[in-house]
Amino acid sequence: MEVFTSVQSLRQFLRQQVLQQKSIGLIPTMGALHEGHISLVEASRTDNDVTVCSIFVNPTQFNNPEDLLKYPRTLDADCTMLENAGCSAVFAPSVEEMYPEQTVLKINFGALESVMEGASRPGHFNGVGVIVSKLFNMVQPDRAYFGQKDLQQVSVVKRLVSDLSFDLDLVICPTVRETDGLAMSSRNRRLSDSERSIAPHIYRILSNSKEDLLAGKRVDEVLARAKNEFASINAFTLDYYEVIDIKTLLPINQIGKAGTNAICVAAFLGPVRLIDNVVF
Ligand code: AMP
C-alpha cells in the first residue's frame, strides 16, 4: 500500500493507474478508522481496481475548536487497518498541503443545511463541500463511498455532485454498528467507560421510535416519548431528534412511503457529540 502526503505524488500515482485503464474508488475519511470505514473500503475493492482512502481532519468543517483539537488522530494504526483491508493507497496530507492559502469560496447548500447538523454546526457543510470537492478534483475517482450514518452529509454530497457535474458515482453504504447497537464512530473513543455503557440507548430509542411509527403511532407522540427518554438519562443532552423526509430533510407530521422516512438524532454524552439515524 502506498502512502502519499503530497498532492503531486498522489496525482503521479493515479495518472499511472488511469493509463493502465484502472478504475478508482475514493473513501474520504478523517481517520481514527473503525469497521464502519473498513466496510467502505471493502465496497470499493469490490467495485474498483484501485482504492484510495484519504485521511484528513479537515479544520474548516469544525465549528467547535475543542472538537477539532480532541479529534482522535491514529495514522499508524489507520494505515495498518487499511493495508490489512487491501486498500491500494492512502492520502494523508497536512493542513498546509490541502490549504496552501485560505479558501475564499463559500458553498451554501440552502435548505439542505438549514436543519439538523447544518443548524447546530454553522459553516460545517461549507467545509464539507469544499474539502469533498478538492478531494474529488485531486483523485478524480470513478466512484466515491460515503456512509449512511452521516445522512445529511449524503444529501449534501449528492447535491454537490449534481450541481457541479462531478463525473463520478456515489455509493452509499449502510451504518456499521457495535454488537450493542451503537453506531461506530471515531468519536466513540472519547467516551468514558460509563458514557460508553449509556451510548447504546441512542440506537435503542431510535429503534423504538421507528417501531412505534410503523405501528401507526402519531409522530408528535413518538417524538415526545423519545425526548422524555433522553431527558430521563442524565448523562445525555439532546441536541435534536427529528422525524424527516429523506429527500427534503424537513420534519414531517406523518410518515410517507417505505424508504422515504428517517429519524435523526444528535446528542451530547458529556463533551462528546454523537449522531445516528434510522431510515425506514
Ligand atoms: P469520518 O471519518 O467520520 O468523516 O467518516 C468517513 C466516512 O465513513 C463517511 O462517509 C462516514 O459516513 C462513514 N462512516 C462513519 N462511520 C460509519 C459507520 N459506523 N458505518 C458506515 N460508515 C461510516
| Ligand 1 closest atom vs CA 146 | 10
Determine phi and psi for 75, rounding to 5 degrees: -60, -45
Grid cell 410503523 — which residue? 214
Instruction: For the beta carbon of residue 275, count every other beta carbon within 10 angstroms.
Output: 22
Q: How far does residue 221's CA lie from ligand 1's centre (Å)? A: 31
Q: Is the distance from CB of 244 to CB of 251 less than 8 angstroms?
A: yes
Break the chain into its structural domains and give their ranges: 2-173, 186-279
Quote the cell numbers at residue 249. Answer: 430533510
What's the topology of domain 186-279? Pantoate--beta-alanine Ligase; Chain: A,domain 2 (3.30.1300)
Query: Can you give the pLDDT of all 280 residues of the chain as single tens digits?
Result: 999 999 999 999 999 999 999 999 999 999 999 999 999 999 999 999 999 999 999 999 999 999 999 999 999 999 999 999 999 999 999 999 999 999 999 999 999 999 999 999 999 999 999 999 999 999 999 999 999 999 999 999 999 999 999 999 999 999 999 999 999 999 999 999 999 999 999 999 999 999 999 999 999 999 999 999 999 999 999 999 999 999 999 999 999 999 999 999 999 999 999 999 999 9
Test site for ligand 1: of 30, 40, 274, most ligand atoms within 8 A of the Cβ? 40
Annotated active-site residue 37? The verdict is yes
pLDDT, residue 41, reads: 98
Closest CA to 76 of 117, 121, 32: 32
CA distances from 257 to 157, 207, 242, 279 (A): 24, 18, 17, 11
CA distances from 99 to 93, 189, 240 (A): 10, 28, 32
The H-assigned helical ranges of 143-218 are 151-163, 193-198, 201-214
Closest CA to 37 of 81, 98, 72: 81
pLDDT, residue 157, reads: 98
- What pTM value is reported for the model? 0.98
pLDDT, residue 183, reads: 98
Q: How far does residue 163's CA lie from ligand 1's centre (Å)? A: 23
Q: How many CA atoms lie within 13 A of 183 on its CB side?
A: 25
Within 6 A (CB) of ligand 1 lie 29-30, 36-37, 39-40, 146-147, 149-150, 173, 175-176, 183-186
| Catalytic residue of the set 34, 37, 124, 201 | 37
Q: How far does residue 155's CA lie from ligand 1's centre (Å)? A: 14
| Ligand 1 closest atom vs CA 147 | 12
Q: How far does residue 132's CA lie from ligand 1's centre (Å)? A: 14
What CATH number matches the domain at 2-173, 2.60.40.10, 3.40.50.620, 3.30.70.270, 3.50.50.60? Answer: 3.40.50.620
pLDDT, residue 267, reads: 98
| Ligand 1 closest atom vs CA 153 | 12
